[in-house]
């Protein structure tokens, strides 16, 4: 497993980051409840196997159910071997309002302490805002609190998880956030335009939704009727498959890894075969210049439609 520098944080991270949402909450196509999730002991074994096979970067969050506590138990005796990224609990109330300034500090402080307790650690390597929108990114109190946490040494780097180009560009230009995590994949390449800016600012890039919640895998063969056009579009990627890239999921991972400005590619893993398949894709034999150019031309024509949160709300991923 190759490693890449995480921006200017001084940390070297594995090209593949282990996405921990699936081991903590029901998530993904066909996962409807806890009965579809792997048991805790199997999840711990999976995390240990990931470390033994070269993955040192692990992503979780307060919002991911038991993910932090499982990682805490898995890594308590090997904390020095892993780099952990976690995220503060979301700020907005059910009506979408931000809390007043005095409560923001308490939310961040309490959320961080909860994460430290669950992860059984004295520090978090990368601590992120979760679901950061423009208003949150413009809030100087939030930025100041995260900066203070870094100065105090309880976190090693600040980070932010974004969705849109506007949010991501604002976060990078602010100079506050050391690491940015955002969606990027074969179908939605919208944020690729910001790779040079992030490199110029020394910002580490973590890309997520690389498999589009399983759509860019064998699970994308029998999608909800509302996603018929998406399923038809997927067939175009067959022309890029070959002996070293035998299936869509491998192609999707290799595509993201072909961008040298990307520090790490986040892949959700909750099965041993998923781990092994991901490791096989991260073989340093990525897309040729010709194939990469072709893959970029095969982006989905309406990226705004590729809204996984909306698909979830509509029940299209069950």
Residue 6 reports pLDDT greater than 80: yes
**pLDDT tens profile 109-123:** 999 999 999 999 999
Question: 239, 265, 263, 243: which is closest to 254 by C-alpha?
Answer: 265
pLDDT grade for 37, boundaries at 50, 70 and 90:
confident
Band of pLDDT at residue 279, cut at 50, 70 and 90 = very high
Query: Which position has the token pair 């409840």?
Result: 33
Q: Residue 271: which domain range?
A: 3-314
Q: What is the Cα–Cα distance from 210 to 82, expressed in whole angstroms?
A: 22
User: Nearest Cα to 274, choosing from 30, 4, 13, 19?
Assistant: 19
Residue 227, pLDDT score: 95
Residues β-bridged to residue 17: 57, 266
More confident residue, 318 or 265: 265
Question: Can you tell me the distance from the alpha carbon of 64 to that of 21, in angstroms, rounded to the nearest whole number?
Answer: 5
Residue 220 has pLDDT above 90, yes or no: no
CATH number at residue 39: 3.20.20.100
Burial of residue 223, with CB atoms counted within 10 A of its CB: 0-12 exposed, 13-18 middle, 19 or more buried: buried
- 200: confidence class by pLDDT, cuts 50, 70, 90: very high
Q: What is the mean pLDDT of residues 59-67?
A: 96
Give me the mean pLDDT over the 205-233 stretch. 93
pLDDT at 66: 95
Average pLDDT for residues 240-254, to the nearest whole number?
Answer: 96
Of 237, 162, 158, give the one whose Cα is nearest residue 194.
162
For residue 218, the number of C-alpha atoms closer than 13 Å in the C-beta half-sphere is 4
Query: Residue 222's pLDDT is what?
Result: 86
Element (H, E) at 135: helix 134-137
Question: What pLDDT band is residue 2 in, cutting at 50, 70 and 90?
Answer: very high
Beta bridge partners of 265: 16, 207
Highest mean pLDDT among 251-255, 306-310, 312-316: 251-255
Q: How many domains does the chain have?
A: 1
Which residue, among 103, 104, 111, has the nearest Cα to 143 in the 3D structure?
A: 104
Q: What percent of the chain has pLDDT over 70?
A: 99
Residue 312 has pLDDT above 90, yes or no: no
DSSP assignments along 45-77, one per residue: HHHHHHHHTT--EEE--TTSTTHHHHHHHHHTT
Instruction: Indicate if the pLDDT at residue 31 is higher than 80.
Output: no
> In angstroms, what is the C-alpha Rg of the chain?
19
Would you state the pLDDT for residue 213?
Answer: 87
Residue 250 and residue 137: Cα distance in Å, rounded?
34
Mean per-residue pLDDT over the chain, rounded: 94
What are the structure tokens assigned to 317, written together? 């991923």
> CB count, 10 Å around CB of 159?
30
Please give the pLDDT value at position 33.
Answer: 79
CA 210 to centroid of chain Cα atoms: 8
N-term to C-term CA, the chain? 33
pLDDT digits (tens, 9 = 90+) for 127-181: 999 989 999 999 999 999 999 999 999 999 999 999 999 999 999 999 999 999 9
pLDDT at 95 over 90: no
Could you count the other beta carbons within 10 Å of the beta carbon of residue 181?
29
Q: What is the pLDDT of residue 57?
A: 98
């Amino acid at each position: 497993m190759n490693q890449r520098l995480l921006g200017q944080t001084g940390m070297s991270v594995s090209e593949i980051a282990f996405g921990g949402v699936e081991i903590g909450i029901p998530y993904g196509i066909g996962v409807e409840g806890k009965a579809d999730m792997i048991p805790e002991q199997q999840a711990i074994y999976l995390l240990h196997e990931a470390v033994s096979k070269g993955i040192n970067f692990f992503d979780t969050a307060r919002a991911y159910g038991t993910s932090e506590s499982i990682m805490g138990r898995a890594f308590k005796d090997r904390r020095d071997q892993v780099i952990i990224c976690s995220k503060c609990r979301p700020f907005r109330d059910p009506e979408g309002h931000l809390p007043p300034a005095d409560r923001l500090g308490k939310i961040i402080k309490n959320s961080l302490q909860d994460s430290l307790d669950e992860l059984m650690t004295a520090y978090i390597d990368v601590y992120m805002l979760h679901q950061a929108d423009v208003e949150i990114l413009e809030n100087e109190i939030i930025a100041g609190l995260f900066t203070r946490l870094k100065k105090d040494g309880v976190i090693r780097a600040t980070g932010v998880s974004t969705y849109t180009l506007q949010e991501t560009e604002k976060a990078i230009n602010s100079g506050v956030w050391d690491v940015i995590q955002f969606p990027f994949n074969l179908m939605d390449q919208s944020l690729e335009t910001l790779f040079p800016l992030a490199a110029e600012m020394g910002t580490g890039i973590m890309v997520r939704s690389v498999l589009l919640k399983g759509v860019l895998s064998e699970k994308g063969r029998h999608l909800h009727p509302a996603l018929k056009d998406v399923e038809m579009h997927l067939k175009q990627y067959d022309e890029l498959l070959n002996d070293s890239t035998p299936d869509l999921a491998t192609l999707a991972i290799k595509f993201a890894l072909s961008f040298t400005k990307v520090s790490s590619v986040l892949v959700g893993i909750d099965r041993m075969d998923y781990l092994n398949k991901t490791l096989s894709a991260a073989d340093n034999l990525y897309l040729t210049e010709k194939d990469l150019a072709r893959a970029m031309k095969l982006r989905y024509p309406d990226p705004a439609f590729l809204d996984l949160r909306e698909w979830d709300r509509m029940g299209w991923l069950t």
